[in-house]
């Protein structure tokens, strides 16, 4: 017992972090390596240590002893024995089971138990959910399984608490020879940043022996460029899957601008075009499209219909369930996941871990901010009162209806107007969940609006106008949550969101993270109806960013004129 640490470790694997402790920032950074933030009240932030958080830590190089020692150094009192035992148990299971080529039966793999796990094969054979895979004994320390079960077996073993280290190897794929351009079109030199090169090496390994896993970097850090770097290193035909058609065309633009690939070597596979070429860029939506419920996904064969040597899953946290299922069948192809956050609101983080791969590298948002690679962002939650009539409607409503009324509070419009005026000539994005709310606000303020119903050509025209500076303020629905490159946006005003979505909050802040000329600063405002369900959901939305080191100032808008009152700080 030392009585001095910033953390209180509890028997149920939760850790309370004292926000007033002088070592709060240092403790937060260390905790994030092996635990996940689940609540952030003002006095104590609550973290939880889970098997998945520990397996990702193990994949990043943490040892059980190092993890226990770090937790002990942070703890105010002794770490409960049960917690230490669970850390050792769960982390020791990472790498205990390994998949390798069997060398015994054609079309089979060996599931090998390492490091004192000689009894494990017998235990696995007794588990009912594994009988479907037809596991057979080969030697005391190994089982044989058909290679076609590679993904599904890893998925089930992860669910059972036995993560598998996949060393079964990958096909090379059809060769593709190209390089990076040293000079960019329009002038300027192209060079990979240090952390981008490190991310590529983390994925491929020093000997190029790895080849499946996830790289986690903030929006604006150049994840697309990292993807290009991996393709350039492996020199093979590649399928790139991303979240929307705007992102498809941004990938194609980057491929043409930064590599020696020719236009005829790059294909767009979308609702408008069906080009399958050595590097093909498509969307999750087109892969999961079907004419009617009950029919198959007619475009899903794109995943296996060509000799891809690499599949890149951009915005991997958005991967839909049917693509997970298809991915289970293509485990012999290298898989790279790119994302700003591994948070998934559907709880499928384990499927990302088992089918795409473990977290190979995470680059801290604040680390890149300190080096000037992304903008420094001031985050502010503005709590907006509701006028009496609207408040009455809110009180009479129930469930989700309550949240929506609070989210569409018309009092937010006056605050948006003030923020636009306050930020002078800065370029501003107004982002919301509800199209009706956005239409009303856009009409009142006389600004253009992009929604999902707008034709792609019209969206592109408005995005171009914003990039060129002819449009200063642009309202966007959730279609702009992901993979939209608007480098000069330096103010984002969020007027409504998807309940407590942490990933959405992170992605929306990411719209303004590109480095800025001059002071390299940006501003993120979240407008929340005061003392409503929306305020409760806002606290959950902010969790991921708070874990990254961002702080939200709380301001209260005046009941009549929108003037802000005394600032409060929430770590």
Q: What is the pLDDT of residues 110-128, one digit of tens each?
A: 999 987 666 899 999 999 9
pLDDT number for residue 205: 81
User: Do residues 449 and 492 both lie within one domain?
Assistant: yes
User: Do residues 199 and 327 both lie within one domain?
Assistant: yes
pLDDT tier at 565, thresholds 50, 70, 90: very low
Taking only the tens place, the pLDDT of each residue in 250-279 is 999 999 999 999 999 999 999 889 999 999
- The highest-confidence range among 178-187, 391-400, 406-415, by mean pLDDT, is 406-415
Q: What is the 3-state secondary structure (H, E, C) of 97-125?
A: EEEEECCCCCCEEEEEECCCCCCHHHHHH
Domain containing residue 424? 372-570
pLDDT number for residue 560: 42
pLDDT at 398 over 90: no
pLDDT at 232 over 90: yes
User: Do residues 139 and 227 both lie within one domain?
Assistant: no
User: Do residues 270 and 381 both lie within one domain?
Assistant: no
183 falls within a domain: no
Strand partners, 212: 335
Choose among 338, 337, 276, 321: nearest CA to 303.
276
User: Do residues 417 and 434 both lie within one domain?
Assistant: yes
Mean pLDDT of the chain: 90
User: Do residues 561 and 439 both lie within one domain?
Assistant: yes
494 falls within a domain: yes
CA distances from 352 to 207, 318, 319, 553 (A): 24, 10, 8, 34
User: Do residues 132 and 78 both lie within one domain?
Assistant: no
CATH number at residue 524: 3.40.50.300
User: Do residues 377 and 331 both lie within one domain?
Assistant: no
Per the structure, how many domains does the chain have? 4
Ramachandran assignment for 340, one of left (phi > 0), alpha (psi -120 to 50 degrees), beta (any other): alpha
pLDDT at 549 over 90: no
pLDDT tier at 547, thresholds 50, 70, 90: confident
User: Do residues 405 and 311 both lie within one domain?
Assistant: no
180 falls within a domain: no
| Other beta carbons within 10 Å of 256 | 16
User: Do residues 209 and 357 both lie within one domain?
Assistant: yes
Q: Poorest-confidence range of 79-88, 373-382, 539-548?
A: 539-548
Tokens 């148990």, residue located: 89
Of 32, 58, 93, which one is at a domain's C-terminal end?
93
pLDDT tier at 482, thresholds 50, 70, 90: low
Taking only the tens place, the pLDDT of each residue in 17-51 is 999 999 998 998 899 899 998 887 768 899 999 99
pLDDT number for residue 570: 40
pLDDT number for residue 566: 45
pLDDT-above-70 percentage for the chain:
95
Taking only the tens place, the pLDDT of each residue in 330-355 is 999 999 999 988 888 777 889 999 99
**Residues 246, 251, 255, 261: is their CA dihedral positive or negative?**
negative
pLDDT number for residue 372: 92
pLDDT number for residue 345: 75
User: Do residues 347 and 261 both lie within one domain?
Assistant: yes
pLDDT at 568 over 70: no
- In sequence order, what DSSP letters do the residues of 161-186 get, joined into one string? T--EEE-S-----SB----B-SB-TT
pLDDT number for residue 405: 93
For residues 364-369, average pLDDT? 90
Of 331, 363, 395, which one is at a domain's C-terminal end?
363
User: Do residues 347 and 448 both lie within one domain?
Assistant: no
Quick check: 432 and 462 in contact, CB under 8 A? no
pLDDT number for residue 561: 38
pLDDT at 501 over 80: yes
Q: Which helix (H) or strand (E) holds 389?
A: helix 388-396
184 falls within a domain: no
Taking only the tens place, the pLDDT of each residue in 451-477 is 988 988 898 899 899 988 899 999 999
Of 34, 63, 93, which one is at a domain's C-terminal end?
93
174 falls within a domain: no
557 falls within a domain: yes
For residues 303-312, average pLDDT? 94
Quick check: 512 and 426 in contact, CB under 8 A? no
pLDDT number for residue 567: 46
Burial class (CB in 10 A: 0-12, 13-18, 19+), 188: exposed
pLDDT number for residue 563: 42
pLDDT number for residue 116: 63
pLDDT number for residue 207: 58
175 falls within a domain: no
519 falls within a domain: yes
């Amino acid at each position: 017992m030392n009585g001095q640490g910033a953390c209180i470790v509890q028997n149920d694997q939760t850790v309370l972090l004292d926000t007033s402790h002088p070592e709060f920032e240092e403790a937060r950074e260390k905790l994030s390596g092996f635990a996940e933030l689940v609540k952030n009240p003002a006095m104590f932030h609550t973290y939880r240590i889970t098997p998945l958080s520990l397996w990702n830590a193990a994949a990043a190089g943490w040892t059980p002893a190092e993890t226990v020692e770090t937790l002990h150094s942070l703890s105010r009192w002794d770490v409960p024995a049960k917690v230490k035992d669970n850390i050792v148990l769960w982390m020791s299971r990472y790498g205990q089971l390994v998949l390798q080529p069997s060398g015994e039966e054609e079309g089979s793999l060996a599931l090998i138990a390492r490091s004192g796990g000689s009894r494990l094969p017998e235990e696995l054979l007794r588990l009912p959910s594994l009988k479907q895979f037809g596991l057979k004994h080969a030697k005391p320390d190994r089982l044989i399984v058909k290679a076609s079960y590679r993904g599904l077996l890893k998925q089930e073993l992860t669910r059972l608490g036995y993560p598998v280290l996949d060393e079964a190897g990958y096909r090379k794929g059809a060769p593709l020879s190209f390089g990076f351009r040293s000079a960019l079109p329009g002038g300027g030199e192209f060079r990979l940043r240090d952390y981008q090169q490190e991310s590529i090496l983390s994925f491929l390994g020093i000997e190029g022996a790895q080849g499946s896993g996830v790289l986690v970097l903030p929006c604006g850090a150049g994840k697309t460029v990292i993807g290009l770097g991996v393709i350039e290193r492996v020199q093979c035909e590649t399928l790139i899957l991303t979240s929307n058609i705007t992102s498809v065309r941004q990938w194609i633009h980057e491929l043409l601008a930064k590599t020696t690939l020719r236009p005829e070597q790059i294909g767009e596979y979308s609702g408008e075009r069906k080009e399958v070429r050595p590097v093909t860029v498509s969307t999750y939506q087109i892969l999961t499209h079907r004419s009617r419920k009950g029919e198959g996904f007619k475009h899903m064969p794109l995943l296996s219909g060509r000799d891809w040597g690499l599949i890149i899953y951009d915005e991997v946290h958005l991967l839909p369930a049917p693509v997970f299922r298809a991915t289970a069948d293509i485990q012999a192809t290298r898989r790279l996941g790119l994302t700003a956050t591994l948070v998934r609101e559907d709880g499928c983080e384990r499927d990302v871990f088992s089918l795409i791969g473990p977290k190979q590298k995470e680059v801290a948002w604040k680390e890149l901010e300190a080096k000037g690679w992304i903008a420094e962002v001031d985050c502010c939650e503005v709590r907006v009162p509701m006028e009496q009539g609207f408040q009455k409607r809110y009180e009479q409503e129930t469930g989700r209806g309550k949240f929506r009324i609070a989210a569409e509070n018309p009092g937010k419009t006056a605050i948006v107007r003030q923020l636009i005026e306050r930020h002078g000539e800065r370029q501003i994005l107004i982002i919301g969940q509800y199209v009706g709310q956005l239409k009303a606000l856009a009409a009142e303020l006389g600004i253009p609006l992009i929604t999902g119903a707008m034709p792609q050509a019209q969206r592109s025209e408005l995005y171009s106008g914003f990039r060129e500076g002819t449009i200063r303020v642009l309202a966007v629905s959730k279609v702009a949550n992901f993979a939209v490159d608007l480098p000069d946006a330096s103010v984002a005003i969020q007027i409504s969101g998807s309940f407590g979505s942490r990933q959405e909050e992170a992605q929306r802040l990411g719209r303004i993270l590109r480095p800025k000329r001059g002071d390299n600063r940006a501003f993120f405002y979240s407008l929340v109806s005061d003392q409503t369900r929306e305020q409760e959901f806002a606290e959950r939305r902010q969790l991921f960013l708070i874990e990254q080191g961002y702080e939200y100032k709380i301001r209260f808008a005046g009941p009549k004129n929108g003037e802000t009152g005394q600032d409060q700080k929430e770590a």
